[in-house]
Chain A
Amino acid sequence: MATLNRQKIASVLAKQGILIAFAVFMIAFTVANPKFLSVDNVFSVVRSSAILGVMALGVSFVVISGNLDLSVGSMMSFSTIVVLDLHDKIGPLLAIPTMFGMTLCLGALIGFLVGYLRLNSLIVTLGMLSAIHGLTLTYSGGQNMDIADKSGTWFSVFGQGTALGIPVPILIFISLAAFLGVLLSKTAFGRKVYAVGGNGTAATFSGIRRARAVFMCYMISAACVATAGLIQASRSLGSQNTVGQGLELEVLAAVILGGASLLGGSGTIFKTVIGVLILGFIQNGLLLMGLQFYVQFVVTWVIIILAVWLDIAAKRGKLWSSMA
């Protein structure tokens, strides 16, 4: 009976652990510094997390479908550079859809390679990370990209504007999260994503077109990356070629922190948002405590491993692995 209770506690911890950890963490920081939960601070955290967050939404689809996407960082650099370049050439109104189209083409290529050709997603997206980086450098000629007239463009609204008193990046992040959350949890497509990630063979045996579902996940990921690139470009109105470098792993960290399994078939958009917020608030909280930004790296490390560890420990009913 005692063991049963322990198992029960463990399973509750595993299911809600990330929320509990989040709550404890928020309370601790608020006690330490009352400014932490002020509206201004919360806004600033969410706003600075928006780019990472938007990308994490897309990557959630890819991860739940049982694959990886390591190319989102360099793809985001690509989107940013392209939209900034086109802004001055064809105007923002045309630049934005063109940039989305180009980014979606990249997503389609990855989706084709992983979905239809069934190539290993880790290697494909690793290759694409490098290839898209090269593409970006070729496109920009290695130069930083800047908008000529930084004060005279409405383009800045996506990164710097506010609506209803809320910063636009936050609005984009929240509405995209709501939309994708519903798509994943309420529609037939979402169900198929879980099925394909949970057991691709069984999904095929149930008549689901696995390749198509995987392809669509990469398209969603690319659309999210393009949105993130738009926010990034709009916020800074100028950018380096490497603006997204390294983000792929931070994004993945947020998704895993939210409880998605790299094996696929589990995770939700809501949890990913929590994962993103945890990363954002940790960074912010540690800064408010006067600690350097890099302490955040170390804390994130510990948190990611603890989160995943407790998750699988609850599933196997034992804290330590039985590996001899």
Chain B
Amino acid sequence: MNQSDRVLHLDTIVKTFPGVRALDGVSLSVMRGEVHALMGENGAGKSTLMKVLGGIYQPDSGNIYMGDQKVTMSGPLEAKGKGIVFIHQELSLAEELSVAENIYLGELPRKSFGRVDWPRLIDQTNAILKKLNVGFDAKTRVGDLSIANQQMVEIARALTVDAKAVIFDEPTASLTDAEKVVLFDVIADLKADGVGIIYISHRMEEIFKITDRISILRDGQYQGTVITRETNEEAVTQMMIGRELDLTRVAVHHDLGEVALEVRGLSCGKLYQDVSFKVRRGEVVGFYGLIGAGRTEIAETLFGLRDPSAGQILLDGTEVRLRSPADAIARGISLVPEDRKGQGLILGMNCRDNMTLPQVDDLKAGPFVAEGAEIAIFDQYRDRLDIRTPSWKSRVGNLSGGNQQKIVIGKWLSMHPKVLIVDEPTRGIDVGSKAEIHKLLRELAALGYAVMVISSEMPEVLHVSDRIVAMYAGRIMRTFFAEEVTEENLIQAISGITAGEAA
């Protein structure tokens, strides 16, 4: 690998945001025809690095080279013009428009009078779609496609330009196995054409299957680059989390308390079917499965946000009907939702008001909100959860991800729930906060809370749970006790490979 084969080189990039050093001297080189994995935990700086590469952020220092030429990126358009194409995790398509118009968005072929050259557009598009071997045509409205097919449209876009480097950001998150095969073929083709590929994924088996080298980030710092066939999963994981993989299982509790929450044969249309499980006081039950397996939807049903189409929910042995979150809260259920910014917080509000929001009706001094009591609650949970904020008056939107998440957790702990449901508790927060939150969840169980943890991160589920419920395609495949679970049988269960002994 000599210098002239280098497609792209990011040289000691530094990027800081108020209070956070998001990238601390990160370097990355991609060669012609190389698939280069970029790994790191959520919040490690992968997406910031890619935004620097795409010109959405300007680095504080450091340079970007293409070949041997130093370049600056003023924005996505310039990046695209230089042959750097991004395939985003979040789809950026115009649903009302056709597949063809989306693929050539911003560069529709023209005829006289500014007309769109439809025949040419359709021909070009169909040629690309044929390469991708997809089952829809150029004129289909994008809004009518499945998510996976929309992803293929997104990929098709990358093939329209003379790409020198293509960045795939979690491309397989919503793809079926068959669609993945197609995607990997596309990547192989690009690779054969000498394109450099940056492949961002959490999925080890994919990384080891298709990549040539792996670069690892942790907390905004570059941890090094390894050659894929000379390393293994443990080594990479260790570089990512910076310590021995802490897979210590919790000591299984056999002296558990009463059943706090029981769900019998619960179904919600096509989202999930015939789900039954119990959560006892003092127990953490982990829910593990792929995105779309129905875990979040169960949580939302238990929180009164969805009406079940069949089945029962029992709290302390009594059947309840939960029509709204207010109902659920009144019965002692709390939900720390998956989408912190969209569902958990009101970013424009201050920390205190966010934290006391569910109980604002109960904190009364005469006709007014008892602000003193609110501040007392805030102070209590700030100390307990070690929330770092200048004052309760700070806007929540100005805090770091970890502190924001602690505000949400504090908000629900202060309600003293019987059942605490936590959906993706550590998504997008730093390693330190992550460990604290894991410890906290165990402490809560020890205090007698019934805790449900939904997570897509296997180490997390293994680390905090007494029992693990494995879900696949809306069904519970198997329930494990902590001592009987292995990575293999867990992965099999959530892949739908074994129609295991459902609990």
Contact = CB atoms under 8 A, between A and B. Distances in A.
Interface in A194-222: 194-195, 198-199, 201-209
Given A207-B329, A209-B326, A199 B345 contact: yes
A203 B469 CA distance: 30
Contact of A195 (B75, B326, B357): B357
A191 interface: yes
Interface in A166-201: 182, 186-188, 191-192, 194-195, 198-199, 201
A265 B344 CA distance: 16
A324 B106 CA distance: 13
Contacts of A240: none
A205 B300 CA distance: 9
A204 B345 CA distance: 11
A195 B348 CA distance: 9
A192 B75 CA distance: 39
Given A204-B325, A209-B324, A198 B346 contact: yes
Contacts of B335: 205
B346 A199 contact: yes
Given A187-B368, A188-B360, A209-B324, A202 B329 contact: no
Contact of B347 (A191, A199, A205): A199
Contact of A191 (B328, B329, B369): B369
In the complex, which of the residues B325, B357, B411 has the most CB atoms of chain A within 10 Å of its own CB atom?
B357
A266 interface: yes
B114 interface: no
A322 to B, nearest CB: 9
Interface string B346-383: 11110001000110110110011100000000000000
A186 B329 CA distance: 23
Interface in B64-114: 75, 77
Nearest to A191: B360
A186 B325 contact: no
Contacts of B411: 206
Chain A: interface size category: 20 to 34
Contacts of A195: 346, 349, 353, 357
Interface residues of B, number: 30
A79 B353 CA distance: 38
A195 B360 CA distance: 11
A192 B349 contact: no
Contacts of A187: 367-369
Contact of B346 (A186, A188, A203, A207): A203
A206 B347 contact: no
A194 B363 CA distance: 17
Given A186-B369, A187-B367, A201 B357 contact: no
Contacts, number: 72
Nearest to A211: B324
B344 A205 contact: yes
Nearest to B304: A207
Contacts of A203: 346, 357
Interface string A271-288: 000000000000000000
Contact of B343 (A186, A198, A202, A265): A202
A194 B358 CA distance: 13
B40 to A, nearest CB: 28
A191 B326 contact: no
B373 to A, nearest CB: 12
A206 B358 contact: yes
A198 B348 contact: yes
Given A191-B357, A192-B360, A199-B346, A206 B368 contact: no
B390 interface: no
B486 to A, nearest CB: 35
Contacts of A188: 360-361, 363-364, 369
Contacts of B19: none
A178 B196 CA distance: 65
Nearest to A194: B349
B326 to A, nearest CB: 4
Contacts of A204: 305, 325
Contacts of B344: 202, 205
Contacts of A194: 346, 349, 353
A207 B415 CA distance: 12
Given A205-B337, A207-B329, A209-B324, A191 B353 contact: yes
30 contacts: A182-B368, A186-B367, A186-B368, A186-B369, A187-B368, A188-B360, A194-B346, A194-B349, A194-B353, A195-B346, A195-B349, A195-B357, A198-B348, A199-B346, A199-B348, A202-B343, A202-B345, A202-B346, A204-B305, A204-B325, A205-B305, A205-B325, A205-B335, A205-B344, A206-B358, A207-B326, A208-B326, A265-B346, A266-B348, A324-B75
Interface of B: 75, 77, 303, 305, 324-326, 328-329, 335, 337, 342-349, 353, 357-358, 360-361, 363-364, 367-369, 411
Given A191-B353, A191-B360, A324-B77, 6 more contacts: A187-B367, A187-B369, A198-B347, A201-B343, A202-B344, A207-B325
Interface of A: 182, 186-188, 191-192, 194-195, 198-199, 201-209, 265-266, 324
- The 4 A-B residue pairs with the shortest CB-CB distance, nearest first, are A198-B346, A207-B329, A206-B357, A207-B325
